[in-house]
Amino acid sequence: MPERVRIKDIAQLANVSVGTVDRVIHGRNGVSESSKKKVEEILEKLNYQPNMYASALATNKKYHFACIVPKHSVGEYWESVEEGMKKAVSDFSDFHITLTIVYYDQYNFNSFLDVANQVIDIKPDGIILSPTTASITMRYIEEVKKLNIPYIFIDSNIDGLQPLAFLAKF
């Protein structure tokens, strides 16, 4: 067996087609019980783990993320955060990721809400944001949750909210 087990290898061991293995792995119909059992036994025996990178490439899905950060000047902290996000988008370009970065005036609460509502309008697959005050951020996150948009916080966390992740200053 090769170091990385392929669907093709499993199909050969089970004496079934690659399509049958694919249907079993993804829980699709159209597989006899005996074939399904053979494939599942081999998957378990080999401790098969799907290659997430290959799966993501195969789906050819496009991901659009939005980031909400305070307006900043060259050389300030937020510039390095922004550059890091742009680098990640570039490094993972095979995954068809795009990023929209929008800026709010951290001294104007209405500015945050205006920008944050623009982000909702673009219907991103996920939101990365630097929260403003707890009450305003909570109100915004209620809307984000209603739309089932995952979100993470950068720099500040807010008790009572449950982002997928919280990234602190480094």
pLDDT tens, position by position, 85-136:
999 999 888 888 899 999 999 999 889 999 999 999 999 999 999 998 899 9
CB contact at 8 A, 56 and 95: yes
Which pLDDT tens digit goes with each residue over 38-87?
A: 999 999 998 888 776 777 667 778 899 999 999 999 989 899 999 999 99
Q: Where in the chain is the domain with CATH 1.10.260.40?
A: 7-50
- Write down the pLDDT at residue 1: 55
Fold category of 60-167 in CATH: Rossmann fold (3.40.50)
The pLDDT of 156-168, averaged and rounded, is 84
User: Taken in order 124, 129, 135, 138, is the CA torsion positive or negative?
Assistant: positive
CATH of 7-50, one of 3.30.470.10, 3.30.70.2390, 1.10.260.40, 3.40.50.720: 1.10.260.40
Q: Where in the chain is the domain with CATH 3.40.50.2300?
A: 60-167
pLDDT band at 170, cuts 50/70/90?
low
35-66 per-residue burial string, b: 16 or more CB within 10 A, e: under 16? beebbeebbeeeebeeeeeeeeeeeeeeeebb
- Write down the pLDDT at residue 60: 75
d(CA 33, CA 47): 21
pTM: 0.68
- Which residue type is seen at 93? S
